[in-house]
Amino acid sequence: MSTTFESLKLTRQYLNAIEELGYAAPTEVQQKAIPLILGGQDVIGIAQTGTGKTAAYLLPLMQTLKYAQGEDPRCLILAPTKELVIQIDKNIRELAKYTDLRWVCLYGGIGPKTQIEQLEAGVDLIVATPGRFLELYAKGVFVAKKIKHMVLDECDRMMDMGFWPQLRDIQEKLPQKKQQLLFSATFPDKVQRIADNFLLWPSRIEVTPQATPAATVAQVIYHTPNKQTKANLIKHLLRHSEDMTKVIIFTATKEDANILANMLDEERLGPLRLLHSNKGQNARINAIEDFKTNVVRLLISTDVSARGIDINEVSHVINFNIPTHYEDYVHRIGRTGRAFKTGIAISMYDVSEKYHVRHIEKLIRQTIEEKPIPDPKLVLGTTVAERQAQNKEIDRQKRLENPEFKGAFHEKKFKKDLSKDKKKKSPAKKAKPKKRTF
Ligand code: AMP
């Protein structure tokens, strides 16, 4: 079965941090790189931003550094820009949450005073742009002789920005014997030159070029306040779009898949099949076969169940939830198109999923076209339980962005919302009672 973070031999403190971040499984580059780096090897990783490459080197390196030790840095991560240094800083803050490791970020554009103070207080790991690293080294603020691990992140960009002389300078100041990792989105000759000069018998790993959604897939997104509204919108679309002939609907959980399947079945919008882990192997195989051979119109699946299954050439993919494993978004929508001239990917997000939409748009480097809900009657009120779950999720996201944030579920606001709910008399209550609703 699929690789888990546990099977990558990460220690509990990292597994806990990963769990809190909500990463369901290691990404491809993480699966490939973590064991090699833990084994002390030099690694060339060809992976773009968005593939999870930062955690792919941070986790094994931090685990190797173990805990705060001595005064001098033992690991150096070089990045081309201040922005990338700040992004790496955020990743360390999240992943090192349950360790006592100390790290410093060095970049220009601000005075060096604070950075110097931090270095003098003792540090395990430095994340730096090459220029500021050399500047502070020259001032004698730290010694480099204990640096036994080094990462060149976004190496192609560093070369494009003309950092070759600085990189060579830095190499001369560090111990010869050290573990070296090189990450790069592309691998032109000039990056090859760095690898040849600095790395020793590196293992090369390459993750499939970041799937940018095919141009033939049209992507649209709807802002929907809750699951019940999402379900209504799906019903509406299925009823009114004759071209929706072969549709996969992805849900985050099997409960949602079950409820949605019942609703669509009741309204005869199928025929449909369900795919999730509670179904036996035979039922699953039959469901896939029936969908592939056009016996049924709809396949409702949890994303976990659909992973690795070869179903392509569908007319529409509907994301009932926004995948939190962002690469899944690209995989999911990649199933449309092909036989159909254009495939259509329809996603729905509630307020707590906006955060993930933003991340996905960053990953695919595109803005997904947002459409208004076609009929206001489709919009239903949010139940207290669902709103509470949404608020809790938003708090979790805020804490990820800012560890100082103290959320407590929007308690005050939540009380107000409750009273609003009473007064408004949610239209959901007027709706015909259903066997099971969201
Ligand atoms: P990177 O390629 O390192 O810039 O990472 C891109 C985004 O993916 C970051 O926002 C990470 O927090 C996120 N990420 C990293 N690893 C995982 C994972 N295993 N599952 C889900 N998200 C991840």
* Nearest ligand 1 atom to alpha carbon 25: 19
Name residue, tokens 């009932």.
320
Cα–Cα dist 349/321, whole Å: 6
Q: Which residue lies with its CA nearest to atom 14 of ligand 1?
A: 52
Q: Is ligand 1 within 6 A of the CB of residue 31?
A: no
Q: Is 52 touching ligand 1 by the criterion CB < 6 Å? A: yes
Ligand 1 mean position, distance from CA 324 (Å): 10
Distance 49 CA to ligand 1 centre (A): 9
What distance in angstroms lies between residue 88's CA and the mean position of ligand 1's atoms? 11
pLDDT at 284: 79
Which atom of ligand 1 sits closest to the CA of residue 87? 4
Euclidean distance between CA atoms 406 and 399, whole angstroms: 7
Minimum CA distance residue for ligand 1 atom 6: 50
Q: Determine if ligand 1 sits within 6 Å of the CB of residue 55.
A: yes
pTM passes above 0.85: no
The protein residue whose alpha carbon is closest to atom 16 in ligand 1 is 52
Residue type at 17? A
**Residue whose tokens read 């006592």:** 100
What is the DSSP-derived secondary structure letter of residue 105?
E
Q: How far is the CA of 385 from the centre of ligand 1 (A)?
A: 29
State the closest ligand 1 atom to the C-alpha of 47, by its place in the atom list counted from 1.
Answer: 2
Correct CATH for 6-206 of 3.40.470.10, 3.40.190.10, 3.40.50.300, 3.40.50.150: 3.40.50.300
Residue 215, classified by CB atoms within 10 Å of its CB into exposed (0-12), middle (13-18) or buried (19+), is exposed
Sign of CA dihedral 172, 174, 178, 179: negative
Left if phi > 0, otherwise alpha if psi is -120 to 50, otherwise beta: which for 66?
Answer: left
The CA distance from 249 to 287, in Å, is 14
Largest CA distance in the chain: 75
Q: How far is the CA of 51 from the centre of ligand 1 (A)?
A: 6
Q: Which residues of 166-200 are buried (b: 16+ CB within 10 A; e: fewer)?
A: bbeebeeebeeebbbbbbbbebeeebeebbeebbe
- Answer yes or no: is the C-beta of 63 below 6 A from any ligand 1 atom: no
Choice from 4, 20, 27 to test ligand 1 binding pocket (greatest atom count within 8 A of CB):
27
Q: How far is the CA of 170 from the centre of ligand 1 (A)?
A: 29
pLDDT at 415 (0 to 100)? 47
> Ligand 1 centroid vs 143 CA: distance in angstroms?
32
Rounded to a whole number of angstroms, the CA Rg of the chain reads 25
- Pick out the chain residues at pLDDT < 70: 1-2, 208-216, 304-310, 312, 337-341, 407-436
Residue 142 Cα to ligand 1 midpoint, Å, equals: 31
CB 167 within 8 A of CB 153: no
Give residue 280's pLDDT: 72
| Rounded Cα–Cα distance for residues 403 and 172 (Å) | 37
Q: Which CATH architecture has domain 217-378?
A: 3-Layer(aba) Sandwich (3.40)
Residue 210 · residue 420 · CB < 8 Å: no
What's the rounded Cα separation, in Å, for the pair 108 and 106? 7
Helices (H) and strands (E) in the chain, counts: 18, 14
**What are the residue ranges spanned by the domains of the chain?**
6-206, 217-378
329/366 Cα distance (integer angstroms) = 13
> Same CATH fold, 217-378 and 6-206?
yes
